[in-house]
Copies of this chain bind each other. A is one copy, B any other.
Amino acid sequence: MYKLPDRSSGTSFDTIGILTSGGDAPGMNAAIRALVRAALNQKIKVYGIQRGFAGLIGGDMRRMSSASVSNIIQRGGTLLKSNRCEAFKTVEGRHQAAEALRKKGIQALICIGGDGTLTGAHLLARESGMTVIGLPCTIDNDIYGSDDSIGFDTAVNTAIDAIDRIRDTALSHERLFLVEVMGRKSGFIATQVGIACGAEMILIPEYPRALDSISHTLASNRKAGRGSSGIIVVAEGTEPGLTERLAGYLRQHGEEPRICILGHIQRGGSPTGHDRVLASCMGATAINYLQAGYTDVMVATLGRELIPAPLGDITARR
């Protein structure tokens, strides 16, 4: 559980906006709920901005009440909807966004999302002087500066549940399965899932391996008496087309591997306890950070603590 920071009485906000952007992740709704309730509790008005930065530029936002976030803590997806927005990647787009916020009287913006979202949030803060707080929310858990991100734990458990099913067939048919999990630039999901499923091998972008080396390891395992069934977990971003090429290579070397690409099922579903609590605490903390005068930071985890981490560092280390 996380300790919430003390509130400084230094800064006071009247009206804030919230948006979710980029790929959706389980726990986004729990974060929205916590933000709305914590803000209302501090007599701060909240606008929910629709469809991420696109809706922000278009001024598509509506007032949120406590009831508007009832019964959503357990829901996957995001009730604010999300989007990838090209316009916001331009200075001009971000300028329009700042204008839209000012027109509505919104004094601070809270952005929930991954790498791209938080980078956009940082640029908005720097260019427009708008007060901006970020919440790291991506199943990939690849955000520099935070040990943990909302949605990661749920995605890991969803993938594990799927692989537990696949193993039933792998064992019954004594077969090798190559299972591709999400992770475009990072092997966090693959590593966690691979350990948790007792995978024979884990392939991740951080440690590229040649096909013959992989094949050689498998052959050694066979010789050492390990059964002919097995699971190899591959992070999708390890190498473009790796899973298919590996399957082809193994087929030429006497294996009969099957491929499963878990895909979008990893994004959805009811968030785990961990993600609900993380999202709830991060949401409440974001409002505290606002009132303590922070801007251009995200609520990050360091071990079991919540800390403010500069959004600029994410971009710098990208």
Q: Contact residues of A with B, CB < 8 Å? A: 1, 20, 23-24, 26, 28, 33, 51, 70-71, 73-78, 81-83, 147, 153, 156-158, 160, 162, 164-169, 171-174, 177, 191-193, 195-198, 227, 258-270, 272-274, 276-277, 280-281, 302-305
Query: How far in angstroms is the closest Cβ of chain B from A205?
Result: 16
Q: Identify the 10 closest CB pairs spanning chains A and B, nearest first.
A: A303-B303, A165-B268, A168-B268, A76-B168, A77-B168, A196-B276, A77-B172, A24-B172, A165-B269, A156-B273
Give CA–CA (A57, B153) in the complex, Å: 41
Q: Is the CB of A82 within 8 A of B172?
A: yes
Q: Are A77 and B171 in contact (CB under 8 A)?
A: yes
Point out the residue from B24, B28, B157, B303 that lies within 8 Å of A273, measured CB to CB: B157
Q: Are A81 and B173 touching (Cβ within 8 A)?
A: yes
Q: Which residues of B contact A173 (CB under 8 A)?
A: 24, 81-83
**A258 nearest CB neighbor, chain B only:** B264
The distance from the CB of A280 to the nearest CB of chain B, in whole angstroms, is: 6
Which of B169, B177, B276, B280 is within 8 Å of A24, CB to CB?
Answer: B169
Query: A168 with B24: in contact, given A273-B157, A276-B160 (CB under 8 Å)?
Result: yes
- Across-interface contacts of A81 in B (CB, < 8 A): 171-174
Per the bound structure, the CA–CA distance linking A26 and B166 in Å amounts to 11
Chain B residues lying within 8 Å of A75, measured Cβ to Cβ, are 168
A226 to chain B, nearest CB (A): 8
Q: Given A74-B164, A164-B268, A165-B264, 11 more contacts at CB 8 Å?
A: A24-B169, A76-B169, A77-B167, A78-B172, A156-B273, A157-B272, A160-B273, A192-B277, A195-B277, A197-B276, A302-B303
A147 / chain B contacts, CB cutoff of 8 Å: 304
Q: How far is B274's CA from A171's CA once the two chains are assembled, in angstroms?
A: 24
A165: contacting residue among B23, B76, B191, B227, CB under 8 A:
B76
Which chain B residues border A258 with CB–CB below 8 Å?
264
Contact A260 B260 (CB under 8 A): no
Point out the residue from B1, B70, B171, B195 that lies within 8 Å of A71, measured CB to CB: B171
User: Given A81-B174, A157-B273, A304-B147 in contact, is the A165-B196 Cβ separation under 8 Å?
Assistant: no
Residues of B within 8 A of A174 (CB): 51, 81
When the two chains form the complex, which single residue of B166, B191, B265, B272 contacts A272, counting CB atoms closer than 8 Å? Answer: B272
